[in-house]
């Protein structure tokens, strides 16, 4: 049965209307999020993904590491024997990876930061959970710690790129271990939610909606404290290695460091916007989120960096492009970042304001047009407001397009000798297209005619005037 709550509307800052969800009458909040829909091809589809993802990660890494980016036949025997030999999980790699994860968990637990309320969770009778947002402080402390460790040779950052294969395997094992552990603990505690009854499917989608370790929300921790930080350090490691080998850092490698810095920094500086996102309120903490964040994101999104690194060793010098191409890649990255950052912050701050949880922050960098004053919006019968101002008046998923601009720039900076650095943008097109379909269907169910009106007012999805 859908749960019902009512909405009281009161004026707020920025001219936006704040909505408090209370258990009274008037407008109805329907728990559409409690519906079980088999996605990703159901149990067979997710089984294939749970087996296929790790194999794909090993395959792509092996093709780069041993065949200079040539896509060899997947059943090539030599390939797998080399992978087993070179990517075997060493004790050293285990120590590096787990120490890092535990240190980040420690920071997430103890660093100071604002506490932000999440969106009302329909399955919890509209309750808003508290999220400790100490991402910025943790990020800066991580940067300082890594500098000290490297500078005084306690841990040379070059060790990361030198041990990438074993580290990847350790991350894969960690992803599976956490998936099973969280699932079993959730079932024992009786905290499972929206279960399909098929154990494989439920392992993939997860059992727990908001698992916590004390005051640390594990889902938010996994989404932003591990994947992007590891990815950033893989690129930093490759850049330091390049500097040690050639005496300088090339524009191509510097690009990767900048690209990954921008992503991890954005997640940290805008962390207070995350508690109201779809992942926090709707997705459960299963293999899909756990594996992808602990292993998939850092160790497949870094393939461009690995390619640049291995090419510089093969060629005796770093890859360089014409100034025009290099400029184009940087321009694509920075313009994509600007749209992505401001579009996300416009919508999230708008939603936080109407949720009564907006807090002004001065975390670096605050970009112009990141917060809208008196934006236009549609007031839905369900109670939520749908933003139609700012970037959101141009296209319904403009932040996805901007994210894709960045993703393609990560590939373009590697040139066109091998398709492997394009795995991330290609995969990302698939992920975002799938996410759009899921999200549009969900919003259409949730908002009904109001969603139709929104689609009428903002007809384009990705590119204004085109599609």
Which residues bind to ligand NDP, rule: CB under 6 A? 277-279, 297, 340, 344, 347, 351, 384, 386-387, 392, 399-400, 403, 431, 435, 439, 442-443, 446
In the complex, what is the shortest distance from the CB of residue 297 to ligand NDP, in angstroms, rounded to a whole number? 6
Q: How far apart are CA 340 and CA 262, in angstroms?
A: 11
Query: Closer CB to ligand NDP, residue 250 or residue 277?
Result: 277
Query: Closer CB to ligand NDP, residue 277 or residue 305?
Result: 277
Q: Are 5 and 29 in contact (CB under 8 A)?
A: yes
Name the nearest CA neighbour of 311 among 231, 246, 407, 260. Answer: 246
Query: Closer CB to ligand NDP, residue 83 or residue 222?
Result: 222
In the complex, what is the shortest distance from the CB of residue 275 to ligand NDP, in angstroms, rounded to a whole number? 12
Q: How far apart are CA 381 and CA 6, in angstroms?
A: 11
Q: Are 255 and 320 in contact (CB under 8 A)?
A: no
Query: Closer CB to ligand NDP, residue 161 or residue 339?
Result: 339
Query: Closer CB to ligand NDP, residue 107 or residue 386?
Result: 386
In eight-state DSSP terms, residue 316 is S
In the complex, what is the shortest distance from the CB of residue 93 to ligand NDP, in angstroms, rounded to a whole number? 24
Residue found under tokens 């100490």: 134
Query: Closer CB to ligand NDP, residue 159 or residue 223?
Result: 223
CB count within 10 Å of CB 125 equals 14
In the complex, what is the shortest distance from the CB of residue 50 to ligand NDP, in angstroms, rounded to a whole number? 18
Name the nearest CA neighbour of 241 among 312, 314, 154. Answer: 312
SS3 content of the chain, % helix, strand, coil (to 5): 65, 5, 30
In the complex, what is the shortest distance from the CB of residue 81 to ligand NDP, in angstroms, rounded to a whole number? 32
Helix (H, G, I), strand (E, B) or coil at 120: coil
Query: Closer CB to ligand NDP, residue 202 or residue 341?
Result: 341
In the complex, what is the shortest distance from the CB of residue 14 to ligand NDP, in angstroms, rounded to a whole number? 14
CA dihedral sign of residues 436, 440, 446, 452: positive
Half-sphere exposure of 431 (CA within 13 A, CB side): 16
**Rg of the chain, C-alpha, whole Å:** 22
In the complex, what is the shortest distance from the CB of residue 80 to ligand NDP, in angstroms, rounded to a whole number? 28
């Amino acid at each position: 049965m859908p749960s019902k709550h009512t909405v009281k509307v009161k004026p707020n800052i920025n001219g936006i209307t704040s909505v408090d969800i209370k258990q009274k009458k008037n407008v109805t909040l329907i728990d559409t999020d409690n519906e079980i829909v088999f996605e990703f091809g159901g149990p067979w589809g997710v089984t294939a993904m749970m087996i296929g993802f790790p194999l794909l990660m090993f395959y792509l890494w092996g093709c780069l590491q041993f065949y200079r980016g040539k896509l060899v036949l997947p059943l090539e025997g030599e390939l797998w024997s080399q992978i087993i030999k070179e990517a075997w999980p060493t004790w050293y790699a285990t120590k590096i990876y787990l120490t890092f994860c535990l240190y980040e968990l420690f920071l997430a637990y103890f660093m100071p930061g604002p506490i932000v309320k999440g969106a009302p969770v329909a399955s919890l009778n509209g309750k808003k959970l508290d999220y400790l947002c100490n991402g910025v402080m943790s990020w800066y402390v991580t940067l300082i710690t890594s500098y000290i460790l490297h500078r005084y040779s306690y841990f040379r950052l070059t060790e990361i790129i030198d041990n990438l294969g074993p580290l990847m395997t350790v991350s894969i094992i960690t992803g599976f271990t956490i998936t099973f552990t969280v699932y079993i603990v959730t079932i024992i505690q009786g905290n499972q939610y929206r279960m399909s009854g098929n154990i494989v499917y439920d392992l993939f989608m997860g059992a727990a909606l908001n698992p916590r370790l004390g005051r640390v929300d594990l889902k938010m921790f996994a989404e932003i404290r591990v994947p992007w930080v590891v990815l950033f350090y893989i690129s930093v490691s490759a850049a330091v290695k390049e500097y040690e080998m050639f005496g300088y850092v090339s524009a191509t490698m510097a690009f990767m460091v900048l690209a990954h810095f921008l992503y991890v920094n954005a997640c940290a500086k805008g962390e207070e916007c995350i508690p109201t996102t779809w992942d926090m309120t709707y997705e459960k903490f299963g293999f899909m989120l756990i594996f992808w964040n602990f292993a998939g994101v850092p160790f497949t999104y870094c393939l461009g960096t690995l390619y640049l690194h291995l090419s510089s060793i093969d060629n005796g010098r770093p890859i360089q492009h014409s100034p025009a191409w290099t400029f184009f890649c940087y321009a694509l990255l920075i313009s994509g970042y600007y749209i992505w950052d401001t579009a996300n912050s416009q919508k999230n701050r708008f939603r936080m304001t109407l949720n009564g949880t907006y807090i002004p922050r001065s975390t670096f960098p605050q970009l112009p047009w990141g917060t809208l004053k008196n934006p236009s919006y549609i007031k839905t019968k369900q109670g939520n407001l749908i933003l139609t101002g700012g970037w959101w008046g141009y296209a319904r998923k403009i932040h996805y397009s901007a994210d894709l601009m960045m993703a393609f720039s990560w590939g373009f900076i590697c040139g066109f000798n091998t398709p492997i650095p394009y795995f991330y943008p290609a995969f990302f097109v698939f992920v975002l297209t799938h996410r759009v379909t899921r999200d549009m269907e969900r919003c259409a169910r949730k908002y009904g005619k109001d969603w139709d009106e929104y689609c009428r007012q903002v007809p384009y999805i990705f590119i204004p005037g085109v599609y």
